[in-house]
Structure 1
């Protein structure tokens, strides 16, 4: 099962429509948590969805899914990390009226090379990424690791042991 979650604040029609178009051509079950929809928001026709789900239902969907597809919100990324799920993120765009600023673009840039994360920069990239990760199965579709990257660990180690002159802890 694919679990689509776009947060709870604003609709994200570009991502929802991309997943709906993919679902129309595939027999894989999809469930979407779509947040607060507006009257003119896109409503999927090819998969089951709710605007809001309880935290325990969210956790059940997350545990059961083979793939998480989400906006580039830290809550979704942390959820994928916590449950070791492969993740596709697509950042919202403030320029398109999907968010207040472009911080999701920055988040996607930071996570784009992380094992277990695939970034869709545009709606037409969503379906091929879903296909690729599902085809890879559990062997090739690495889950987002709960372990920090070696680069982050090295930076933290240098900071902690570097002393005040080396940018370490203040004395």
Structure 2
């Protein structure tokens, strides 16, 4: 199953409609959290919001997450090692007040397991072959472990 989330603050109909159309075209099993939107999904299950425990369960059960470029979702996917496609809200479509989500997208564009879709065509290319997308390595890195061990050694010296 694929899980689409648009966060809790703003609706994101452009993303929801696009994923709904692609779910129909590619016969994808998609569950979505669409926020405060009036859009009626045709090819995917949808709910405006999930309770926190239900949301956690959706993340755990999903093979892939699709989201706006929200830091909470990005960090969660890294933590639980789920592949993520991020699709930014854009000011030109009045989806946000500025294009800070493009900055977020650019910052994560080279992170393993995080896939960036700048437009609907890029999203379709990723979704049409989503089974090949790799999961992230998580938030732990060898460098972080080395630094932690070094700091601990100073504390015991």
Instruction: Give the TM-score of the pair, scaled to structure 2.
Output: 0.85
Is 2:32 aligned against 1:32?
yes
Is 2:69 aligned against 1:104?
no
Q: What is the distance in 2 between the residues matched to 1:61 and 1:147?
A: 20
CA contact (8 A) 1:84 1:146 kept: yes
CA contact (8 A) 2:112 2:136 kept: yes
CA contact (8 A) 1:66 1:85 kept: yes
> Number of residue pairs matched?
147
Instruction: Give the TM-score of the pair, scaled to structure 1.
Output: 0.79
Deviation at 1:42, TM superposition (A): 3.1
Deviation at 1:95, TM superposition (A): 2.3
Is 2:44 aligned against 1:52?
no
- 1:119-138 alignment to 2 at 5 Å? 119-134=116-131, 136=132
Is 2:137 aligned against 1:145?
yes
Runs ≥4 in structure 1, deviation > 4 angstroms? none
Q: Specify every segment of 5 or more residues in structure 1 that has no aligned partner in the other structure, as ranges.
A: 158-171
In the other structure, the counterpart of 1:22 is 22
Is 2:84 aligned against 1:87?
yes
Deviation at 1:7, TM superposition (A): 0.5
* Aligned partner of residue 25 in structure 1, secondary structure: helix
CA RMSD of aligned residues (A): 2.0
Q: What is the distance in 2 between the residues matched to 1:72 and 1:144?
A: 16
Q: Specify every segment of 5 or more residues in structure 2 that has no aligned partner in the other structure, as ranges.
A: 148-157
* Aligned partner of residue 32 in structure 1, secondary structure: strand
CA contact (8 A) 1:10 1:35 kept: yes
Deviation at 1:8, TM superposition (A): 1.0
Q: What is the distance in 1 between the residues matched to 2:120 and 2:110?
A: 19
